[in-house]
Amino acid sequence: MNKVNLFDRRIIKQFLEVTSGISALFSLVLIFVDVPAGNKLTFGGIFLGILLIIYVSLWLRSNKLEEVHLIIEGSSVIVKKGNIFKQSGFKAIAFNEYFDTQVDDKIISQQSLNGIFITEYLGVSVTELDKYLESYLFEDDEILDENTTRKSGKKIRFSIGTICVYNDYLLTAFSKFDEKDRAWLTMPDYLGFLINFWDKVNRVYSQKSVAVPIFGSGITRIKEHKNISDEDLLKIMLWTFRISEMRFKYPAKLTIVIHAGKMDRINLLDIASAKNGL
């Protein structure tokens, strides 16, 4: 899938920057080298062919970008394809607002990042994680209420954006659940989550690097925005990071990790061209 148009103005700009140097070099050479009249057409064709190859190469490279580096308000931010579990530093894992741990394809999908963390990377029993969550010292304003009518899963409901630090993971309450245990958020909820999340990260990151997924790119339903793309979500994340108070001090950095299966939906050239996020 070609995400970048063949005649994208940014490709043209890169091409002109590259070829200006090549053209100057050729002009300098021609001052000292006399090309026979009969060969000028051949050399001209070769030169045009080289320029065509350069242009196509720039276009193909832009479509295959898998990593870009940004500086946002002084913080180093990397957006790249990868496996979040293989990143250094803290790794953010989105839970629902109850911090449920029940991987049964009803409360938590086995294929979700949440489900994969619990079933493959937790390293202890789910019971032990539940005990850790129950004894964790959450702030008073992070605990909203107890949903006594909930039939399955946990009942204590947390404010979205709440973080529980567990080893090198940041477990965060991300999605709300309806009465049928379907994950959902409104766009104001999503923005509120991100602002709250960056604020909480700022308190707990201890100058360690933090890796996050594209929040909302899974099964969570953002009401009235059914067709919002992963690239749009990524841009919103970068924008909220920019306006937040969260700043990473070198060598700590923020890494937004994109699943390999979603790379064809995201134009990283757009992200790279916006030097400070948006």
For the domain that residue 98 is a member of, what is the CATH number?
3.40.220.10
Dist CA 246 CA 147 (whole Å): 32
Indicate whether 116 belongs to any domain.
yes
Do 136 and 262 lie in one domain? The reply is yes
pLDDT digits (tens, 9 = 90+) for 129-154: 999 999 999 999 999 999 998 988 89
Do 73 and 48 lie in one domain? The reply is no
> Residue 275 carries which DSSP code?
T
Do 32 and 148 lie in one domain? The reply is no
Cβ atoms 36, 239 nearer than 8 A: no
Q: Which residues of 260-275 are buried (b: 16+ CB within 10 A; e: fewer)?
A: eebbeebbbbbbbeee
Where in the sequence is the domain holding 164, given as residue range(s)?
67-273
Tokens representing residue 133 in the block: 């969550």
Dist CA 45 CA 35 (whole Å): 14
Indicate whether 4 belongs to any domain.
no
> Measured between alpha carbons, how far is residue 197 from residues 58, 190, 203 in Å?
37, 10, 10
Do 149 and 48 lie in one domain? The reply is no
Please give the pLDDT value at position 245: 87
Do 35 and 76 lie in one domain? The reply is no
Do 51 and 73 lie in one domain? The reply is no
Do 37 and 130 lie in one domain? The reply is no
Indicate whether 39 belongs to any domain.
yes
Do 227 and 150 lie in one domain? The reply is yes
Indicate whether 156 belongs to any domain.
yes
Residues forming beta bridges with residue 68, ordered by sequence position: 79
Indicate whether 2 belongs to any domain.
no
Indicate whether 3 belongs to any domain.
no
Peptide bond into 251 cis (omega under 30): yes
What is the amino acid identity at position 242? R
Q: Is the pLDDT of residue 38 over 90?
A: no
Alpha carbon 30 to its chain centroid, in Å, reads 49
Prediction pTM value: 0.85
Do 150 and 96 lie in one domain? The reply is yes
Do 192 and 218 lie in one domain? The reply is yes
Q: Is the pLDDT of residue 276 over 60?
A: no
Please give the pLDDT value at position 192: 95
Counting the structural domains of the chain, the total is: 2
> Using alpha carbons only, how large is the chain's radius of gyration in Å?
25
